[in-house]
Structure 1
């Protein structure tokens, strides 16, 4: 593999309304040697960044989310109009915007305070994508690089980005102010609204209860019982005869039982019938 040092330094535009945050990022970038980064400009707002980008080019935007005026998400959405769209890495103190960021095809989402190793990992990914773009000799990254078919759920855990393939998600379950994202091998915690995910995943996931959204392919059985809270714990699935009255579905791979509200019983039955 060709070493990243053979590439010219990545040209970066820093966009953050806080001068101290931009200064810290400059300091961190100076410590990154593989790949190297040259800060070609700074902007304290989205409008300043847009004005600079009208007459200049860069490879990378290190972009804050919450700023006066248009936020960073709005700025990122306008980049498609550029002849060559720069790669975007969001740098923010607000992890709850990660889903929107990846909808805008951001390459990474770093939470403040940014650790050097996380920044380094993000830059390596940018450099790899930049090499691919240059090797294909295309101007538009949308044309040069096919988008990944596999959808992911971006989750920020302890400052680390975890990209969970949507195909691996068995269910989303609301727990207080957070969502549990369950796969066959792990549980992840995600900030967000179950209603938002229901709209986004309509057709593939089924709302079975006010607090649960289950992959249709993961629904294995419907029975006239409903799990108690203990049935959702890490101690393992509760036996069906230990559950109370009501309706529940058994989730494939993990064999956990989730409560079904009465109004959703018919929809679950239909999902089982169609999937049979």
Structure 2
């Protein structure tokens, strides 16, 4: 009786803001390579670095810490899920028992630090059939709101800082995110974005949210055949005037203090 052939090596990207933790995980991956073939294709200190390494593909699995500066592991996973094909994601965490229970309920795989060889081998075996966690699940267990939106362009992820977005406008199946420089198409719901960023964006119309911090003023304008006057919002660095609906004007007026 012959032994079953070993599976092809998993290409693994290790993400942790602490260099000793990255090195330890790489060592443990080496320890289990005979049982679960793998090769480390990159080491990153945060989610932004990790995403920059994914442009060319070739990553099967991301082992990522959760709490990291610049971009945490949960947000990284949310952006990664937009890739096609998307690498599997397994979190490494020092979370307490209550937080770990949240991961179990969400069916998201995780490794408790310090990562042990036996448990890592089990996770690698599971990773071969693991799908990226759903965005809804990741939002539920996220330690903080996203710092970036992500757009998939030509097989890579383009990051758009939330702080740079002037407004979000629903158009057909997509949401247009407008910065000073250009527009980006987000495959997300305007309602969902409003719920996720309650303090950062303000609804002025059923199809539009604005960044209040970027408002330079409001004005009266007339449009249409009847010439009826309505309020518009003026944003920094943008010539376009955004109409405020009658329904939203009382809330907009109070929020902007006008």
Give the TM-score normalised by structure 2.
0.48
Give the TM-score normalised by structure 1.
0.46
Q: Higher relative contact order by CA 8 Å / sep ≥ 6: 1 or 2?
A: 2
